[in-house]
Every structure is written in structure tokens, then in C-alpha cells.
Amino acid sequence: MSKTTIVTAIPYVNSTPHIGNILTTLSGDVTARYFRMRGMDVFAVAGTDENGLKIKEAAEAQSRNPHEFVQEIAERFIHIFDGMGMKFDAFMRTSLEPHKIASQALFAELQANGYIYTATYEGWYDVSTETYFKADEIVDGKSPDGNVVRWVSEENYFFKLSAFGDRLLKHIEENPDFIIPETRKNEVVSFIKMGLHDQCVSRKNNGWGIPVPGDETQVIYVWFDALINYITATGWPEAGWEEKWPALCQWLGKDILTRFHGTLWPAMLMGANLPLPKHVIAHAWILLGGEKISKSKGNVITPLELASETAERTGCKPEIAVDVVRYYLTATMGYENDTVFTYEDFDKRYNSDLANDLGNALNRSLSMAHKFLDGVVPDVQPEPEALAAIQSAKEAYEKAMDGFRLERAANAGIDVIRFVNKYVDTRAPWALAKNNDPALPAVLRSMLLCIRAAEGFMRPYMPHAADAIAKQLGVPPMTDWNQIGTLDSLPHGTKLGSPEPIFPRMEIAKPAPAAPKPKPEPKPAQPKQEKMEETATNIIGIEDFAKVQLKVGRVLEAEPVEGSDKLLKLQVVIGAEKRQIVAGIKANYTPEDLIGRQVIVVVNLKPAKLRGVESQGMLLAATDENGGAILLQPDREAPEGTGVR
């Protein structure tokens, strides 16, 4: 069986990875996890780009040996990749011997096929990006990226890129999904049609890099050798490489598509008579403050620090916080347009998708299954609309992943959870239980099966969170894609675990209050109205009302207080916490009426004991004509923990 190879563009080891430059590698990991679930024999490749003049100069600036320098930085990347849960079958460092052998072999093959020649290069060189630029590309004395350039005049080796324009255009036309997305493909086509120029592919040997075969005075241009890492990892040119090549897909950032992965790299493969990868996917950038994230600009957010902050702010487990970052980066990743990262958007996405939708659906489903079914999956058929929702989400997910649209697949996975929350409100299991409706077991199994499906959908993005969901459902992790939506994925008789919050709700930081406005000049006193005099003692100021903190909660459990004909003891989820509240509403509500219902809670009321049972809040209710309780609730679903004002 041949391998399904997934490769990612390798980052340059000139700084610690941030959330922008792990996006490519993370996308490869999510893709690999998905195709493994589809039963494919995946060979996932990552690595680090360690050659080039910039590396040598950076090492010299610290009076260090380049090998020791790149070893240390490569280990930082590996530490972050591992810490973010990325698993690869090969990690290709370009300073190692296997890559040297492959690079020299490909160079020699192109040379033998007549695509490499020697000539004098004179022009501008951007050391920061290791890129050559023509004179008409220089802007105000700098490269198009705004970096300092150097004038270079050397006898070098050139690759006949100009010979491949028509072949590249033909390949793109015959394989319309070779470059993804469409807008990026159009950019590459436009670039090729403007006319490709031969590329300088060597530099003077300054003691760091891969020597040109047969000419130790030159080293292979860093961008030329870095691209070769994809086939180095397959074992090329040794026997057996064909089992791992061509790659199913290559992930990369949009900035390295047009000049390199969309033109130079496929031309190199064509010149060596090697197959091209089936798909090249170029994602957009993550911006911070309107700018690309960059160490030189000082606007760096590192992924492990973001995960650590998330764990601290939410109270979720560290491995779950890592999954949150994984999910956010890939579920919001731009293709056509850049993504602007803000903590506010990060917090809102966490609360909406994970705390309110996924976490809430899991807690509600398990709590009601324990309450009404003794925590055991019933032996009944799920309702057709639930099976249809799972199938619809599954098809949308597969279509998205076939096109390598990770953000669309993530949305399809969350869609089945959104269905659950609406389904619960529509079918109202608590009302079915109150009326002894025989549909109750089927409704609850439908809810649980949707949660199980979501566990499978979310697994490529959030493997640790998916494990936690599977554990609470009392089943092994979902590893077979074909099992999603089947009854066998959640067999009847399964003993369910206890509901435990996986994604505690995050409090979104509020902006600092504005400076107080100057007090207006006092106005002349007006004659008091008679009615005002009568009710003056009942009037309060806004500052008094603000002392009362009201929040939306949801009742997970309800039972009578022993020995009382008025009191019910409730377990209410309010954001990230669960509180016990005793309410005198037994005359108007049964426990079954309350489970799953949203309520309004006074959360800063001093705890009190009623019949020896502690109450940690108070529910808001109106009174009917007999003095009974009419509980207040939002007129539509609101996130648990939302403030009421």
C-alpha cells in the first residue's frame, strides 16, 4: 500500500516560532489526523530550514558554530511542535547529511538534463528573506518586503526557469485544484504569464550550506535546497521513495507560493522528471494590529504562551488549552484574506464554539441521561432528524477536507453541536419525562449520538478534548471515520461517565472605564409631584441596582429537599461554575420541569441555609395570582454566565 504523504513548508530557524509561523505545520497535522481517520496510511513530514547566509551571519554575531546554533533553534521548534500536539513521521532538517545527498543529486540531475548553466549574477540580494530581486523590484532602496538589500556580483549557477512557463501553465490548466485557493492560483498564473526569468541557484561558498556537486567554491542557494526537503524525506534518490511520492498535498504560507512553490519547485521537479505534488495549499497570514506577526516588529505571540494564558484564564486543563489554540488558529484560518488576531475575538470564539456550544451540549446531554435513564445509553433508534443532521455535517466536513478548507470542516463539526442545542430546546426532554412520553429514550440517544459524532469531527483539531469527550461518553476514542453516526459508535447499554466541564466559560476582559465626566451645574429645585413624594422611599439609584449581579444559568439537576413541601434543590451551571440553589418553587414546578431550563440567578447574594441545605444564590421569579412562582428566563437561548442588566 502506498503512503498518503502530507508535507509542510519548513520554517527558517532564525527565531522562536509564533502563532503565525506554526500555522503551516499545524495545518499539516490536522490534515494528517483526518486522513488517518479515513483509513489512509499517512506519511506526514515537517522540518526546519537551516542553511543560508543569514544563519551563518547570525551564528557569527554570537561567536558560535553554525551547527550548534541551528541545533539549538531547531530544538525550540521541535519543542513547540510537540507541545502543540503535532505528530509527524519524518522531521527533515536541511543541515543534515541525507538532505545534502538529495540536494546534490537533484542539482546534478538538472545539470545533466541541461537546465543548469553558469553565468555572472549582478543584482540585489535580500539576506533577511534569502531572495534575489531585479532592479525594477527594489522600492526606495529596499526589497519589496521592506528589507535591506546588498548588491551582489558573482559567477554563479543558474536554473533555466524560463524554459518551463508553458509546461507550468498547461499543468495548472489540466489540474485546476493543483493550487488552492483559486485566488492564489490566479496570482501564480498571472506571474507566469508575465514571463519567467532564469534563477540564480548558487552563491559563493562562505563556509555554510550545501556545496554544489563538483564545485566546492559554490553552495546551493538556500531556497533551492530547502524545496528539495520534501523529497529528501521520502528517501529519494534511494529505492523505495516512489511509495511516498508524489505528495497528496503541500501546506505553505501565501508569501512563498508565487516565486517558489508555484513556479520554481514544480519546474525543478519537471526538469528532473519527477512527479509534482497533487495539491499545493497556500493559506493567508495572521495579522496582529494590522501587521504580519514578526519578531523584528516585536508583535510576537508564541503558541505555548497563548495556551498557558488560556489555561490560567479559564481553568481548563493545560492540554485542553493547547487544543483551544489549535482549534482557533485552524478554524479561523484565512485563505483568500488574512486573519486579524485579537484577544477579544479569541475569547469570543472560545466561549461561543467551545464553552457555550460544545461544552454546553455535552453537559446537558449527559446530565439528562443520568437523570432520566440512570446514565445508560438506551436500546432504541435515534430520531431521523438527528441522524440526518449528523450525515449532513459529515458530508459537509468531507467536502471541505477534500478541498483542504480546514475552517469549513471545523464549522461543519460545530454545526452538529448547534443542532443538538436547538434540538434539546425543541424536544424538551424534561417535558417528555414529566408526561411519561415514550419518545424520551430516543430523544436522549439522539442527543448522545450527535455528541459522539462531534467528538469524531473535532478530533483532528482537538485530540485531547476529543479524548475527554469520549471518556465522559464511556466509549473508546473515535478513530474510524466510517463509525461516525452509526449506532455501533455509541452502543446501547454503554454506561455514561459523569459530566465534567471541559471548557469553563472565559470572562472576556472589558475595556477600561472612561474618565468621569464633569458634574453638571445644579439646576434650580423643581416642585415635587405628590406621587413622587408617596413613593420616594422605594426609589433607588443606578449605583444601588448595580450592586446586584444577575447572570444566566442552566439547571442541570433538580430534586426535592427532604422534609419540605415547598423547597427544591437545584444544581445550576453559571459560566464556568456550578452552584447549588434552594428555591421555594415546588408548588409550581416539578424537578423534571426544570432540568435543562435556563434561569436568571442573583449570583452575589450571601449564601444561606434552608432546612439545613446551603443555597448559593437566588432565582428570579414573578408571582401568579395565587402567590406562586413564575420563573424568569431569556426569551431565547443565551450563553450560560451571561450578565443580565
Domain boundary pick from 489, 524, 554: 489
Element (H, E) at 177: none
Q: Are residues 101 and 202 in the same domain?
A: yes
Closest CA to 449 of 484, 482, 479: 484
> Per the domain annotation, does 168 fall within a domain?
yes
Asked if 68 and 175 sit in the same domain, the reply is: yes
- 446 and 582, same domain (yes or no): no
Pair type for strands 4-8 and 42-48: parallel
pLDDT of residue 528: 46
DSSP 590: -
Do 7 and 250 form a contact (C-beta atoms < 8 A)?
A: yes
Q: Is 3 helix (H, G, I), strand (E, B) or coil?
A: coil
- Bridge partners (DSSP) of residue 286 are 339
Q: What is the CATH number of the domain that holds 213?
A: 3.40.50.620
Q: Which residues of the chain have pLDDT under 70?
A: 1, 15, 289-299, 509-537, 592, 625, 636-637
From 456, 489, 522, give the residue that closes a domain. Answer: 489
CB atoms within 10 A of CB 194: 9
The count of domains in the chain is: 3
Report the SS3 class of residue 301.
coil
- The CA R_g of the chain, rounded to the nearest whole Å, is 31
478 plus 602 within the same structural domain: no
Alpha-helical segments (H) within 274-355:
303-314, 318-331, 343-349
CATH number at residue 609: 2.40.50.140
- Residue 475 cell numbers, joined: 466509549
- Find the CATH number of the domain harbouring 481: 1.10.730.10
Measured distance CA(421)–CA(358) in Å, rounded: 9
Which of 227, 333, 251 minimizes the C-alpha distance to 44?
A: 251
- State residue 342 phi and psi, 5-degree precision: -135, 150
Dihedral, CA of residue 34, residue 37, residue 42 and residue 44, to nearest 10: 40
DSSP 128-145: TTTEEE-GGG-BTTB-TT
Same domain for 542 and 464: no
Residues 25 and 162 reside in one and the same domain: yes
Q: Do the domain assignments include residue 427? A: yes
Short-list 322, 346, 373, 348, CA closest to 502: 322
In 3-state terms, what secondary structure has residue 250?
strand
Q: Give the residue from 260, 237, 248 showing the smallest Cα distance to 34.
A: 248
Task: Provide CB contacts within 8 A for 635, sequence distance 6+.
Answer: none
* Residue 232 near residue 98 (C-beta atoms within 8 A): yes
Handedness of CA 298, 306, 575, 409 (dihedral sign): positive
Q: Are residues 36 and 160 in the same domain?
A: yes
Strand partners, 91: 46
User: For residue 533, what is the enclosing H or E element?
Assistant: helix 530-535
**630: CB partners within 8 A, 6+ apart:** 588, 621, 622, 623, 624
Query: Domain check: are 223 and 361 in the same one?
Result: no
On whether residue 362 sits in a domain, the answer given is: yes
Looking at the structure, do residues 230 and 348 belong to the same domain, yes or no? no
The pTM of the full predicted model, rounded to 2 decimals, is 0.81
Alpha helices in 164-275 (DSSP H): 165-174, 182-193, 222-227, 229-232, 265-271
156 and 50, same structural domain? yes
All cell numbers assigned to 414: 460545530
The torsion angle over the Cα atoms of residues 592, 598, 599 and 604, rounded to 10 degrees, is 120
In a domain, 102, yes or no: yes
**Residues 482 and 551 occupy one common structural domain:** no
Is there a domain that residue 183 lies in?
A: yes
170 found inside a domain? yes
In the listed set 458, 473, 489, which residue is the last one of a domain according to the structure? 489
Q: What is the CB neighbour count within 10 angstroms for residue 139?
A: 11
Burial class (CB in 10 A: 0-12, 13-18, 19+), 98: middle
Residue 114 lies in a domain: yes
Handedness of CA 416, 419, 421, 424 (dihedral sign): negative
Domain assignment present for 115: yes
Determine the structural domain holding residue 224 and report its residue range. 4-283
Please indicate, yes or no, whether residues 375 and 277 belong to a single structural domain of this protein: no
CA distance 503 to 505: 6
What's the number of CA atoms in the CB half-sphere (13 Å) around residue 467?
A: 6
What is the distance between the terminal CA atoms of the chain, rounded to a whole angstrom?
A: 62
Where are the extended beta strands (E) located within 49-180?
Answer: 90-93, 116-126, 131-133, 150-159, 179-180
Look up residue 225 and give its amino acid: D
The amino acid at 517: K
Cα(612)–Cα(605) distance, rounded to whole angstroms?
18
Give the model's pLDDT for residue 520. 52
